[in-house]
C-alpha cells in the first residue's frame, strides 16, 4: 500500500462521524443505568445466595473442620503432658467422671470402683488399662492405635464409641458407633456398631444377645473367628464342691464355647480349658442329693505358665517360661523348653507368643510365631499367627520390611480369609514405613482393586500415597 | 533475494529508522478529528456517571465507530464502556487522564465486540451484509465514501488484533507507542500487526486501484 493511498484513507476517515444526537445520548445513558441496576441486582442475589449457603453449610463445615483438626498425625494419641495427673494415675469415677484426651477422645469411667490408667507407650499408640467399666468415644484416626486392656482382654479401636465393662465372670464390649477389635489369648474378633458381646476372661467367647439398655436395640455379636461359638451357651456346670469326690484328678471343665471350639479345632483345646477355681454362688445349685456327698477340694495343681497366662498374669507366666532375669536389666535369654524341644502345638505356641507380647517382651514373641508358621502352615491359626507376627514386627519392634513379608504371608495362607483385608492394608503401611514407596503404592492399588469399599481405604490411600 | 524467493514481498520497514508511512498531520488530538468546536469535550467536572457521559460519550462513540465500522453496534459498546468506567472511577486522580483511560476501555471493548462478531459469523448467526457506504458523513465525496467502504470491507477479513492496530494507526491517527498501550501489547507486536495488516490491505486495495 502506498503512502498516497494511506493518506487518502486518513483523510476519508476524518469524515467518519457518529450522528450523536441528544436523544441518542439519553437513550444510551438510560441503557447504562439499566445495566447498572441489573448488575447490582445480580450482585445482591449472589451475595444473598452466598450468605444462605454459609448459613446452611456453616455448621456442617465447622464440625467437619473441627473433626479434621482434632486429630492431626503429629498429635494423635498423645496425652496432654500438662494434664498428666488428670489422665495418668488412678482415678475413680467420682473423682474424674469424664477424661478428655488431647486428641479429643473421651473416656468416661462408670461406677465408683472403676479405674482407668491412660498411657502412651510410644507415639501413635495410646493404651488404656481398665478395671471396672468405662465408656469410650474415640476420635477416628487410621494412624493411631487406641487400645483398652482389661483382664487379659484387649480392645483395639478403629474409631468409635463403645463401652467395656465387667459382666459377671466375663467382660462385655458394647459398641454404639464404629467398630472395635477384641483380642484375647491367641484370638481376635471384631464387634460392629449396635452390637455387644461378652467375652469370658479365661475362655473368651462371644455370647449372643446381651442387649445394652442404653444402646437401644443391640444385636448379638458374631462368634469369634478362631473359635466359632454355638448359637446359645449352655448354663455353667455345677460347682465342683457339689460333685462327688473324684478318685482321679479333678476334671477340667469346658465352657460351652470351648466345647464347640475343642470339637472344631482340637488344637485349641488347651487354650480353651477352664478350671473352675472359684465356686460360683449362683442359683443353678445342684440337687440336694449331690449336696449330701462330702466335698473334697481339688488337689493343688502346680501353677503352669499356661494357667497364669489364661488368668492374665502374663508377667508371671513369662518368668515361669523363661526363668528369672539373667541380667540386671531384666532380660531373659534362656529359650523356653517349648522352643528348644519340638513340643507344643500351635495353640501353645500362640499362647507363648501372647505371654511374651503382653508381658512387654515383644521380641520373644517372634520365635514361637515363626516356629508355628514353619511347622504348622496348614493349621487354621497360621494366618492369625502370621498377622500377629506382622503386628509385632511393625508396631513393637520397628521392623517394617519383615512385617510386610508377614502380612503378605497372611494373604498367601488364607487369601479370602477374615484377616486378608486387614493384612493387605497393614502390608501397605509396612512398606510405606520401610521407605518402599513403590511397593506400598502397588499393594495399595491392589487393595483398591480387591476391596473398592474396604474399611481400611483411608489408611491405604494415605500410606500408598494415593491421595 | 527477491529472485530466490519470489513469494516474499518487500514490506516497508518499520521502526524509528524507517518510520511507517506518515498519517496525515493532524492538528487535533487523536479521536477528536473532525469535531466542531461546540462538540469539543467540556472542561472536567465532578466525576459522576452523568458528567462523565456528557463530557466523553461522543468521543467514545466516535472511537468505537472508527474501530467497528458499524453504527448500530456503537450504542451497546458505549454502554459497556461507561459501565466499566463507573467501577474504576474512584481510582482516577487526574481528570485530564480520564479521556485516555476511556479510550483504552473503548478500544478493548471494541476488540471484544469484534471477536464476538467474528464468532457469530463462524457459527452462522451473523448473516447481516454490512453496508459501509453510509459510514462517512453526508458531506463526504462519493470517492471517499467508496474508499472507506472498501477499506472496512477488507478490514472485516483481517484478524481482530491486526485490524484494530491498523485502524488505530491510520484511521484514528495514533502514534505506535500510544497504540501499543491501547492494545495492551508491546511496541514490536504493534508494529508487526500494523505491517501485517498493511501488507494484506495493500494486496487487495493496491490491485483494485
Q: Are B170 and A6 a contacting pair at CB < 8 A?
A: yes
A363-371, long-range: CB < 8 A, 24+ apart = A363/A396, A363/A397, A364/A318, A364/A322, A364/A332, A365/A389, A365/A392, A365/A396, A366/A392, A366/A393, A366/A397, A367/A335, A367/A339, A368/A338, A368/A339, A371/A339
Residue with more model confidence, A277 or A128: A128
CA distances from B7 to A358, B1, B4, B113, B196 (A): 91, 11, 9, 34, 15
Residue A144 lies in a domain: yes
Q: What would you report as the CA-atom Rg of chain A, rounded to the nearest whole angstrom?
A: 33
Task: Judge whether A152 lies within some domain.
Answer: yes
Give percent of chain B with pLDDT exceeding 70: 75
- State the cell numbers at A431: 512398606
Q: Could B75 and A31 be called an inter-chain contact, meaning their C-beta atoms sit closer than 8 Å?
A: yes
pLDDT tens track for A134-167: 888 887 776 677 888 887 788 877 667 888 888 7
Q: Which of B53, B137, B172 sits opposite A15 (nearest CB)?
A: B137
Task: List chain A residues with CB under 8 Å of B173.
Answer: 10, 13
Identify whether the C-beta of residue A32 lies closer than 8 Å to the C-beta of residue B79. yes
CB < 8 Å to A7, chain B: 21-24
Taking CB atoms and an 8 Å cutoff, what residues of chain B touch A33? Answer: 49
d(CA B88, CA B81): 11
| Sole residue written with cell 459501509 | B132
- Give mean pLDDT, residues A172-181: 81
Nearest CB to A28: which of B57, B139, B209? B57
Cβ-based contacts of A36 with chain B (< 8 Å): 49, 83, 86
3-state secondary structure A175-220: EEECEEEEEECCEEEEEECCEEEEECCCCCCCECCCCCCCCCCCEE
Output the CA–CA distances (angstroms, integers) from residue A52 to A45, A48, A339, in the order listed. Answer: 10, 6, 70
- Contact in structure between A20 and B57 (CB atoms under 8 Å): yes
- Cα separation of B192 and B169, whole Å? 12
Q: Give the integer Cα–Cα distance in Å for B186 and B109.
A: 19
* Contact by Cβ (8 Å): A137, A91: no
Q: Is residue A125 in some structural domain?
A: yes
| pLDDT tens-digit series, residues B109-165 | 999 999 999 898 888 887 777 778 777 777 778 888 888 888 898 898 899 999 999
Is A318 among the domain residues? no
Task: Using DSSP, state whether B51 is helix, strand or coil.
Answer: helix
| Closest Cβ opposite residue A17 in set B34, B170, B173 | B34
Residue-averaged pLDDT of chain A: 70
**Rounded to whole angstroms, how far apart are CA atoms A12 and B133?**
12
* DSSP three-state, residue A11: helix
Q: Which residue of A has its CA nearest to B75?
A: A28
Task: Say how far residue A196 (Cα) sits from the centre of its chain.
Answer: 15
Instruction: Cell 476391596: give the residue.
Output: A451
Residues of A in contact with B61 (CB under 8 A): 18, 20, 28
Q: What is the pLDDT of residue A201?
A: 56
Q: Which domain holds residue A148?
A: 84-220
Q: Which grid coordinates are listed for B154?
A: 477488507
Residue A33 near residue B82, CB atoms below 8 Å: no
pTM: 0.38
Chain B hits for A39, CB-CB cut-off 8 Å, are 83
Q: What is the model's pLDDT at position A453?
A: 87
**In angstroms, how far is CA B168 from the centroid of its own chain?**
4
User: Is the pLDDT at A215 greater than 50, yes or no?
Assistant: no
* ipTM for this model: 0.71
With vertex at residue A382, the alpha carbon angle to CA A377 and CA A380, rounded to the nearest 5 degrees, is: 95
CATH of the domain at A89: 2.60.120.1440
Q: Residue A25 domain-assigned?
A: no
Find the residue in B nearest to A25 (Cα). B57
Sequence-separated (6 or more) residues with CB below 8 Å from residue A461: A444, A448, A467
- Say whether B21 and A6 touch across the interface (CB within 8 A): yes
Q: Is residue A281 part of a domain?
A: no
* Among A148, A168, A166, A167, residue whose Cα is nearest residue A158: A148
Say how far apart CA B58 and CA B65 lie, in whole Å: 10
CB atoms within 10 A of CB A49: 10
Range with lowest mean pLDDT among A233-242, B22-31, B48-57, B162-171: A233-242
Question: Which residues of chain A does B60 touch, with a Cβ-Cβ cutoff of 8 Å?
Answer: none
Which pLDDT belongs to residue A34?
92
Chain A residues with CB-CB distance to B65 below 8 A: 16-18
Helical H segments across chain B, by residue range: 49-68, 74-88, 98-123, 142-155, 160-166, 176-183, 187-208
Q: Do A16 and B24 touch (CB under 8 A)?
A: no
Q: How far is A2 from chain B (nearest CA, A)?
A: 8
Confidence of residue A296 (pLDDT cuts 50, 70, 90): very low
How far apart CA B194 and CA B178 sit, in angstroms, is 13
Query: Between chains, do B62 and A18 touch, taking CB under 8 Å as contact?
Result: yes
Q: How many domains does chain A have?
A: 1
- The distance from CA A466 to its chain's CA centroid, rounded to whole angstroms, is 23
pLDDT tens string A51-108 = 999 998 888 888 777 655 444 433 333 333 333 334 444 444 445 567 777 777 888 8
DSSP state, residue B155: H
CB A320 within 8 A of CB A355: no
A197 in a domain, yes or no? yes
Asked whether the beta carbons of residue A31 and residue B79 sit closer than 8 angstroms, the reply is yes
Distances (CA, A) of A159 to A137, A244, A347: 8, 51, 30
3-state secondary structure of A290: helix
Q: Please give the distance of CA A401 from its chain centroid, rounded to a whole number.
A: 22
Q: Tell me how close the Cα of B207 comes to any Cα of chain A, in angstroms.
A: 9
Main-chain phi, psi angles of B125, to 5 degrees: -90, -15
- Cβ of B140 within 8 Å of Cβ of A12? The answer is yes
- Helices H / strands E in chain A, number of each: 16, 11
With a CB-CB cutoff of 8 Å, which residues 7-66 of chain A face chain B?
Answer: 7-20, 24-25, 27-29, 31-33, 35-36, 39
Chain A: residue nearest B28 by CA?
A: A14
- Nearest C-alpha neighbor of A270 from the set A344, A341, A321: A344
Residue A179 lies in a domain: yes
Q: Which domains does chain B have, with CATH numbers?
A: 40-127 (1.10.1740.10), 135-209 (1.10.10.10)
Query: Could you tell me which residues are beta bridge partners of residue A184?
Result: A153, A187
Amino acid at each position: 500500500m502506498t503512502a498516497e493511498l494511506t493518506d487518502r484513507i486518513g483523510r476519508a476517515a476524518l469524515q467518519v462521524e457518529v450522528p450523536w444526537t441528544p436523544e441518542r445520548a439519553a437513550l444510551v445513558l438510560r441503557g447504562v443505568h439499566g445495566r447498572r441496576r441489573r448488575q447490582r441486582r445480580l450482585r445482591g442475589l449472589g451475595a444473598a445466595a452466598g450468605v444462605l449457603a454459609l448459613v446452611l453449610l456453616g455448621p456442617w463445615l465447622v464440625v467437619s473442620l473441627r473433626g479434621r483438626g482434632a486429630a492431626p498425625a503429629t498429635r494423635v494419641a498423645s496425652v496432654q503432658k500438662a494434664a498428666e495427673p488428670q489422665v495418668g494415675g488412678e482415678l475413680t469415677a467420682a473423682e474424674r467422671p469424664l477424661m478428655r484426651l488431647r486428641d479429643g477422645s473421651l473416656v468416661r469411667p462408670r461406677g465408683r470402683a472403676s479405674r482407668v490408667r491412660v498411657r502412651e507407650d510410644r507415639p501413635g499408640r495410646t493404651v488404656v488399662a481398665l478395671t471396672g467399666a468405662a465408656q469410650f468415644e474415640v476420635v477416628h484416626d487410621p494412624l493411631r492405635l487406641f487400645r483398652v486392656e482389661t483382664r487379659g482382654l484387649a480392645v483395639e479401636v478403629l474409631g468409635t464409641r463403645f463401652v467395656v465393662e465387667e459382666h459377671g465372670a466375663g467382660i462385655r464390649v458394647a459398641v454404639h458407633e464404629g467398630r472395635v477389635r477384641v483380642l484375647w489369648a491367641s484370638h481376635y474378633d471384631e464387634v460392629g456398631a449396635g452390637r455387644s458381646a461378652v467375652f469370658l476372661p479365661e475362655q473368651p467367647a462371644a455370647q449372643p444377645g446381651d442387649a445394652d439398655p442404653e444402646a437401644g436395640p443391640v444385636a448379638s455379636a458374631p462368634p469369634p473367628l478362631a473359635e466359632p461359638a454355638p448359637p446359645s451357651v449352655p448354663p455353667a456346670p455345677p460347682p465342683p464342691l457339689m460333685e462327688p469326690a473324684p478318685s482321679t484328678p479333678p476334671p477340667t471343665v469346658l465352657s460351652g464355647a470351648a466345647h464347640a471350639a475343642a470339637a472344631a479345632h482340637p488344637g485349641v483345646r488347651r487354650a480353651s480349658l477352664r478350671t473352675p477355681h472359684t465356686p460360683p454362688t449362683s442359683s443353678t445349685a445342684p440337687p440336694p442329693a449331690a449336696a449330701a456327698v462330702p466335698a473334697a477340694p481339688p488337689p493343688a495343681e502346680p501353677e503352669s505358665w499356661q494357667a497364669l497366662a489364661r488368668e492374665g498374669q502374663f508377667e508371671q507366666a513369662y518368668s515361669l517360661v523363661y526363668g528369672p532375669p539373667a541380667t540386671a536389666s531384666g532380660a531373659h535369654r534362656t529359650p523356653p523348653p517349648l522352643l528348644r524341644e519340638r513340643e507344643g502345638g500351635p495353640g501353645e505356641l500362640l499362647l507363648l507368643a501372647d505371654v511374651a507380647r503382653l508381658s512387654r517382651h515383644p521380641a520373644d514373641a517372634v520365635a514361637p510365631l515363626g516356629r508355628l508358621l514353619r511347622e504348622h502352615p496348614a493349621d487354621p491359626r497360621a494366618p492369625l499367627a502370621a498377622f500377629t507376627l506382622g503386628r509385632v514386627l511393625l508396631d513393637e519392634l520397628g521392623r517394617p520390611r519383615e512385617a510386610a513379608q508377614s502380612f503378605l504371608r497372611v494373604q498367601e495362607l488364607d487369601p479370602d480369609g477374615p484377616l486378608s483385608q486387614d493384612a493387605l492394608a497393614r502390608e501397605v503401611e509396612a512398606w510405606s514405613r520401610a521407605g518402599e514407596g513403590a511397593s506400598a503404592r502397588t499393594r495399595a492399588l491392589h487393595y483398591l482393586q480387591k476391596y473398592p469399599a474396604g474399611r481400611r481405604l483411608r489408611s491405604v490411600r494415605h500410606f500408598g500415597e494415593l491421595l | 533475494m527477491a529472485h530466490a524467493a519470489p513469494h516474499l514481498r518487500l514490506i516497508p520497514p518499520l521502526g524509528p529508522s524507517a518510520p511507517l508511512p506518515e498519517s496525515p498531520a493532524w492538528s487535533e488530538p487523536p479521536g477528536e478529528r473532525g469535531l466542531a468546536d461546540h462538540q469539543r469535550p467540556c472542561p472536567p467536572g465532578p466525576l459522576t456517571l452523568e458528567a462523565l457521559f456528557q463530557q466523553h460519550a461522543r468521543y467514545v462513540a466516535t472511537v468505537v465507530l472508527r474501530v467497528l465500522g458499524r453504527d448500530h453496534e456503537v450504542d451497546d459498546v458505549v454502554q459497556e464502556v461507561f459501565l466499566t468506567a463507573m467501577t474504576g472511577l474512584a481510582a482516577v486522580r487526574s481528570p485530564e487522564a480520564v479521556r485516555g483511560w476511556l479510550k483504552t476501555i473503548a478500544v478493548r471493548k471494541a476488540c471484544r465486540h469484534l471477536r464476538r462478531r467474528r464468532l457469530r459469523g463462524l457459527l452462522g448467526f451473523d448473516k447481516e451484509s454490512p453496508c459501509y457506504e453510509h459510514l462517512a458523513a453526508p458531506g463526504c465525496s462519493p470517492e471517499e465514501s467508496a474508499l472507506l467502504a472498501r477499506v472496512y470491507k477488507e478490514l472485516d477479513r483481517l484478524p481482530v488484533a491486526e485490524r484494530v492496530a491498523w485502524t488505530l494507526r491510520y484511521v484514528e491517527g495514533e502514534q505506535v507507542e500510544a497504540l501499543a498501550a491501547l492494545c495492551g501489547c508491546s511496541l514490536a507486536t504493534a508494529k508487526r500487526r500494523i505491517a501485517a495488516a498493511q501488507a494484506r490491505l495493500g494486496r487487495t486495495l493496491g490491485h483494485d486501484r
